Structure 1
Amino acid sequence: MAAPKKGRRSPGGQGRPGRVLALILIAMVALIGGMFASGDTTPRLGIDLAGGTSFTLEAKNEPGKPNAINKTNMDTAVGIMDRRVNGLGVSESEVQTQGEKHIIVNIPKGTNAKQARQQVGTTAKLGFRPVLTSAPGVKSPEPKPSASVGDKDKGDKSKDGKTKPSASASASASPQGRAVTDALKADPSADPSASAKGDKAGSDKKKDPKAPTPTPTPGDVAALQKQLAALDCSTPASRAKASEAAAAAKASDPIVACKTDGSAKEILGPVAVEGTGVDKASAVIDTQQGKGWIVQLKFTKDGSKKFADVTGKLATQQPPQNQFAIVLDGEVVSDPSVTSSIAGGQAEISGGFTQASSRDLANVLSYGALPLSFDVVNETTVSPALGSEQLRAGLIAGAIGLILVVIYLVAYYRGLALVALASLLVSAILTYTIMVLLGIALGFALNLPAVCGAIVAIGITADSFIVYFERIRDEIREGRSLRPAVERGWPRARRTILVSDFVSFLAAAVLFIVTVGKVQGFAFTLGLTTLLDVVVVFFFTKPLMTLLARRKFFASGHPWSGLDPKRLGVKPPLRASRRPAAPVDPKEA
């Protein structure tokens, strides 16, 4: 005989409900443990509940663009600023225009206001420049005339046996790399006397291979070397002055720039790849090679070709000429080395990044340059007094609503009310811990509409329990005992609960997509609690009912169980119809 087929078990876990309950309890313990391990046990609050910082930015016209301040550019700037602030992990921020040339930015408490102010106002003039010479960030001593650093006859031998180009003594003893004159001659496009306009015009025409290579004048080279020696990158004031001068230089001119941390100063060649060549940048953690936090870059079609060309040339050079500097507003934010040509339009930057620094770099690179320049004209601290009063009133209203729900459940469902209350408690714990962890990981902040969404979710969650309880009671009215009633009522209740929650989640998703600002907080909380309702009903309420159906108090229909057959008007028990017995052949004696 063939073995009987095993029946399918529903996701509710009626086969082994204890394991399902243990699974969700373990998940709860893990979430709570993660919350306490993070050191933060309270959700982040929005600016309307916790206060924060508000600053006003005033737009100013760029040189040569007298009519740049218009509605289109202001709206574009608002969109970029909003994405930049949220890219810092700040949620529920407010960025909006005021008048014709002002933008108001509200940042919730707990955010680095100084960092946010720098991010939203940064013009993000980005360029990839080859490194020609590198030196420590402190001011170099005056160079003394002498012979060249490297042996003129023998030269410095590298590991592969090739002779390194020696630096000229006039560049000072501290800089590393080849002579600036040689470096500038290596690339015909590095003519410091060429203007940006001329560069662009010349790129459209084919270069004559017989044309002489432009050579920088000794005065230009000497000026760069003198500027490098005099530059001091050890103080913020000197770095700011140097970055201002470097940012004002033309893309076709070599510059002298400081690293953002002041550890080094460098002479950089002309811009090889413009910042507009970057299509997207993101900060991720490298788990495969253990590089820590890295920044992944994706270039446009034109930027990809230029980046492949310049990295191919740099890969043939010795350090530090095999490095390219990522220059943002006149400061070197990173100067990675290149070992081979990087084709395909994708690259990554690694080395010493923290989560914050990698995210900041990716954030600015991703969202591009502002169409206008802005000055911070006012900065104030926002008081949470009004929001706190509204929150208190909302919490009182929510508590009253919860008490009324509890009274109704106890009066109508009696013992089953314990199941509903336990499920509500589990849902509340999951919601709270997840919101705290989202605040830590993603910067999610609760505002007043988000709190309203959590209060509305109480009714949605309670409705799911009521649907299931009524299905069980309907089965008992048909004359079935509790254990089969629990299992037979589950498929019908499950379909109803899923359809109801799907409609609620769809409404929350549409509301989140089509709205902006604080209303998105309401939609996000509503969607999150709707998903948690499904988790709680499937992995807690259903297995708990399966276990309680085996207890005498509920199985016997105790008057206080909420499943009393008399109160439910039970019909006579179902009886199987008797079939006529088949004729039996007489047996022979």
Structure 2
Amino acid sequence: MAPPTRRRHPARTLITLAVLVAAVFAAIFAGTKWSDATWSPKLALDLEGGTQLILAPVAEDASSVSSETINQAIQVIRQRVDSSGVAEAEITSQGGSNIVVALPGRPSEETLDLVRTSAQMEFRPVLTYAAPQPTTADGATEAPTDGATDAATADPSAAPEATPAPTDAATGDASADGVVSGTVPGTAATDDPTEPTAEATEPATDGAAGPTSPSDAAYYITPEVEAAFAALDCTDPNNLTGGQSGPADEALVTCDPDGTVKYILGPIEVEGARIANASSGLQVTSTGAVTNRWAVNLEFDSEGTTQFRDVTERLQGLQSPQNQFAIVLDGLVISAPSLDPGVIISDGKAEISGTFTRDSATALANQLKFGALPLSFDVQSEEQISATLGSEQLEKGLLAGLLGLLLVVVFSLVLYRALGLVTVASLGIAAVLTYGVITLLSWTQGYRLSLPGVAGLIVAIGITADSFIVYFERIRDELREGRTLVAAVDRGWERARRTILASDAVNFLAAVVLYFLAVGSVRGFAFTLGLTTLIDLVVVFLFTHPVMLLLARTKFFGQGHRLSGLDPKRLGATGGTRYVGRGRFVTEPKPGATGAASLDAPTSTLVAAVPGAGGTIAERRAAARAAEAQAAAGEQPAEEGAVATDDAVTDTSPPDDPGASGTGDDVRTEGKDA
């Protein structure tokens, strides 16, 4: 009785692969119609050229410009550039002081601003704010008019609040553009943001007495500060470039990046370097429930935790807007959240909540996490640079890849004959899928293909071909042991699958380690190596194996045509024993052996079963019983029994010879009458 087989649907697997490939290219097509996608991947700096900026450090004390601070600045700039989606950027030091930033292609103005923005991040208390337009001397410290309030402080309940994580943040929010205004729910009803606070309008006290706190508006808002505040026009783009944070122990008059509000801020209380981490995500309540509101989670180091605790404790006793603290980057207020009433943040973990979108929350988190630089920098030069290698080197790399692919194809056709066409088709599918994925990543993730990346693609040809060789050799080994092609494909896949998975796992692990430990262009090699390793698994599982299942059912491959590459005789199976189904095996004599059959024609002997020749447990037991019966009769199974010619299998045993059947199993003979 034949063993049960699992139902296989190779056609469905091939359809799944076709849908996957179609989805990749359909996404690219949609991107070319409704976005800025292209049908070819973007190229890196070494192949396309780009923009180069040279940054010179600005420091009052030259001794503060050390190699450690320069390396730290390079790391921050690299994180900024990577967070913007630009790949293959080159950021290096020049002469131990300057920093050279080379961005491939035509980077966006936002990306260039991330490089140009080199000031330190700082936390300052808000003393007062007003509409962005300049005012007269009489109204220098007044808050915005009703019309300005509508534009700059649209909703009093929309001010973001810093709350201890993971407790539930109160309502309050920053608008999508980061403008902060309004009061916090729960504050006194008499608080009116359109009216200046007493501290903000009180004349400056005697400087000798000193400020009572960093929020002492009477001390810090001097006549000079009032004049600068009144004259500041935040609607003028020239006043939104930033770059000057002002002295750390004095008031700062500045704008928000969008020019909708202008502020007077107190001295620095917490430096941006004290931020340990920042991230964005959906807000979580005190009970652990996840809301649909986006928030920014902020965490300070040990020193920053102490400083921020003191700030929140002091701000709790103040009225709006002096219960807000401003986050200043490059001299501009990127956020000014107010505090949740009655909360003192003592663990250094705060949550800024509000009407954030996913993009605005991510942008603020990136600014908080990567915004602080150990030094300030001036842009010394900015120019376009040409490709260091150019299209000629790219063409040589592609030519090398095509040559390697051609050699693999020739090798496969010589070694595997028609079976080598499966290798060619598999490599073609892998190449199409790789091209589509790289092009898609180039559009969606900003990936750029560099020359080391091209080298990774070339190496992948050998990795992919190796998987096919392992599979095909397993199938041929099974054919040498006497199995039919259908059985050999199944058994060979079970054994080859483990080897392929282990091999690709090692390659992928090496690519991951190389990617995270290396920098610069080496990461491009690691990325393409890891990507093509994953695609190799997809192709082997979704294309190569299903195709072999279909080919095993054809006459050309199934019967072992001499040009198929799967001919048992050419594989050295002559003289062995192979299973032909229904508990029967065919033993083919070696050339020159004597026996009942004629030596003029290829012969084979049909026996009931042969011990150890494979098959199911029942088949091996039947083989053992047949061998015992033949041993008892003193017969040789290789010389007596049923003899098969090319056209038929004829029973040559005497009618009463027990060796004709061997066991109680039904052993049938086939063919024409003798």
TM-score, structure 2 normalization: 0.69
Q: Taking structure 1 as reference, are residues 327 and 559 closer, same or farther at Cα in structure 2, changes over 3 Å only?
A: same
Query: Structure 1 residue runs of 4+, over 6 Å off?
Result: 147-150, 157-161, 182-185, 190-196, 285-288, 315-318
Tell me the residue number matched to 1:334: 335
Q: Tell me which amino acid in the other structure corresponds to 1:164.
A: T
Q: What letter is aligned with 1:26?
A: V
Conserved in 1, the CA contact under 8 Å of 2:42 and 2:442? Answer: yes
Q: 1:160 to 1:349 in 2, by over 3 A?
A: closer
- Which residue of structure 1 aligns with residue 271 of structure 2? 274
Taking the TM superposition and a 5 Å limit, the aligned residue runs for 1:182-581 are 216=218, 220=221, 223-240=224-241, 243=242, 247-251=245-249, 253-283=250-280, 289-291=291-293, 295-304=296-305, 306-307=307-308, 310-311=311-312, 320-340=321-341, 341=343, 343=345, 344=347, 345-348=349-352, 350-351=354-355, 355=359, 359-367=362-370, 369-384=372-387, 386-570=389-573, 571-574=576-579, 575=585, 576=609, 577=623, 579=625, 580=629
Q: Counterparts in 2 of 1:71-220, with a 5 A limit?
A: 71-112=67-108, 114-143=109-138, 162-165=188-191, 176-181=195-200, 216=218, 220=221
- Name the CA distance, whole Å, in 2 between partners of 1:191 and 1:273: 26
Give yes or no for contact 2:121–2:373 (8 Å, CA) kept in 1: no
CA contact (8 A) 1:139 1:231 kept: yes
Pair 1:158–1:306, CA change in 2 (3 A): closer
Identity of aligned residues (%): 43
Q: Give 3-state SS (helix, strand or coil) of 2:234's partner.
A: coil
Using the TM superposition, give the Cα deviation of residue 524 of structure 1 relative to its aligned residue in structure 2, in angstroms. 1.7
- CA distances 1:64-91 after superposition (whole Å, capped 9, x unpaired): x232233333333333322332222221
Give how far 1:527 is off.
1.8
Higher relative contact order by CA 8 Å / sep ≥ 6: 1 or 2?
A: 1
In structure 1, distance between residues paired with 2:199 and 2:243:
22
Output the CA distance in 1 between the equivalents of 2:403 and 2:184.
Answer: 79
1:50 aligns with 2:69: no
Distance 1:386 1:233 in 2: 45
Paired residue secondary structure (2:380): strand
| Cα distance in 1 for residues equivalent to 2:370 and 2:223 | 38
**Cα deviation, residue 495, structure 1:** 2.5
**Per-residue deviation at 1:322?**
4.9
Aligned equivalents of 2:202 and 2:30: distance in 1? 53
Partner SS for 1:565? coil
- The alpha-carbon distance between structure 1 residues 237 and 563, as it changes in their structure 2 partners (threshold 3 A), is same
1:144–1:459: structure 2 CA closer, same or farther, 3 Å change rule?
Answer: closer
Q: Name the counterpart of 1:154.
A: none
Does 1:27 pair with 2:20?
A: yes
What is the DSSP-based 3-state SS (H/G/I as helix, E as strand, rest coil) of the residue aligned with 2:550?
helix
Please say if residues 132 and 177 of structure 1, whose CA atoms lie closer than 8 Å, have aligned partners that are also in contact: no
Contact 2:476 2:566 in 1 (8 A): yes
Q: Which amino acid aligns with 2:22?
A: V
Alignment of 1:5-16 (within 5 A): 15-16=8-9
Whether the 8 Å contact between 1:135 and 1:176 is mirrored in structure 2 is no
- 1:307–1:342: 8 Å Cα contact kept in structure 2? no
Letter paired with 1:509: V
Q: How much does 1:183 deviate?
A: 9.2
Which secondary structure does the structure 1 equivalent of 2:126 belong to? strand
Q: Distance in 1 between matches of 2:184 and 2:475?
A: 83
Q: For 2:235, what is the secondary structure of its paired residue?
A: coil
- Residue 333 of structure 1 deviates from its aligned partner by 0.8
**What is the root-mean-square deviation in Å for CA atoms of aligned residues?**
3.9
**Structure 1 residue 193 displacement after superposition:** 7.3
Residues 76-129 of structure 1: per-residue CA shift (max 9 Å, x gap): 3333322332222221111112224322221100322x4444433534422233
Contact 2:184 2:338 in 1 (8 A): no
Shift of 1:54: 1.4
C-alpha deviation, 1:214, in angstroms: 7.5
* Secondary structure of 2:46 counterpart: helix
Distance 2:139 2:375 in 1: 46
How far apart are 1:263 and its partner, in Å? 0.7
Which SS does the other structure have where 1:443 is aligned? coil
Q: Determine helix, strand or coil for the equivalent of 2:65.
A: coil
The Cα of 1:232 is off from its aligned counterpart by 0.9
Q: Would the alpha carbon gap of residues 564 and 369 (structure 1) be closer, same or farther in structure 2, given more than 3 Å must change?
A: same
Deviation at 1:447, TM superposition (A): 0.5
User: Runs of 5+ in structure 1 lacking a partner?
Assistant: 151-156, 168-174, 201-212, 584-589
1:67 aligned residue: 63
CA distance in 2, matches of 1:531, 1:148: 60
Q: What secondary structure sits across from 2:218 in the alignment?
A: coil
Letter in 2 for 1:438: L
* Count of residues in correspondence between the two structures: 533
Could you tell me whether the CA contact under 8 Å between 2:240 and 2:258 is conserved in 1?
Answer: no
Contact kept in structure 1, 2:131 and 2:144, CA below 8 Å: no
Once the two structures are superposed, residues 407-439 of structure 1 have per-residue CA deviations (whole angstroms, 9 ceiling, x without a partner) of 222333233233222222222232222222322
Letter in 2 for 1:336: P
Q: Does structure 2 conserve the Cα–Cα contact (< 8 Å) formed by 1:282 and 1:295?
A: yes
How far did 1:262 drift? Answer: 0.3
| More off after superposition, 528-537 vs 461-470 | 528-537
Q: Following the alignment from structure 1 to structure 2, what is the Cα–Cα distance between the partners of residues 462 and 149? A: 71
Matches of 1:415 and 1:195, distance apart in 2: 92
CA spacing shift, 1:352–1:137, aligned 2, 3 Å: farther
Whose radius of gyration is greater, 1 or 2? 2
Contact 2:119 2:243 in 1 (8 A): no
Distance in 2 separating the partners of 1:526 and 1:412: 27
* Structure 1 partner of 2:616: none
Contact 2:255 2:262 in 1 (8 A): yes
Q: 2: distance between equivalents of 1:449 and 1:160?
A: 59
Shift of 1:332: 0.8
In the alignment, structure 2 segments of 5+ residues that lack a partner are 146-182, 285-289, 580-584, 586-608, 610-622, 630-661, 665-674
In the alignment, the residues of structure 2 paired with residue 184 and residue 481 of structure 1 have an alpha-carbon distance, to the nearest angstrom, of 100
Question: Do 2:125 and 2:265's aligned partners in 1 also have CA atoms closer than 8 Å?
Answer: yes
Paired amino acid for 1:230: A
1:446-470 Cα distance to aligned partner (Å, 9 max, x none): 1001101101101110111011111
Shift of 1:371: 3.0
- Helix, strand or coil for the counterpart of 1:138? coil
In 2, the alpha carbon distance for the partners of 1:559 and 1:82 equals 60
Instruction: Deviation per CA, 1:454-504: give whole Å up to 9, x if none.
Output: 011011101110111111111112221111100111122122222322332
Going from structure 1 to structure 2, the CA distance change for 1:228 and 1:99 (only over 3 Å counts) comes to closer
CA gap 1:42/1:56 in 2 versus in 1, 3 angstroms: same
Counterpart residue identity of residue 572, structure 2? G
**What is the CA–CA distance in structure 2 between the aligned matches of 1:403 and 1:258, rounded to whole Å?**
62
SS at match of 2:62: coil
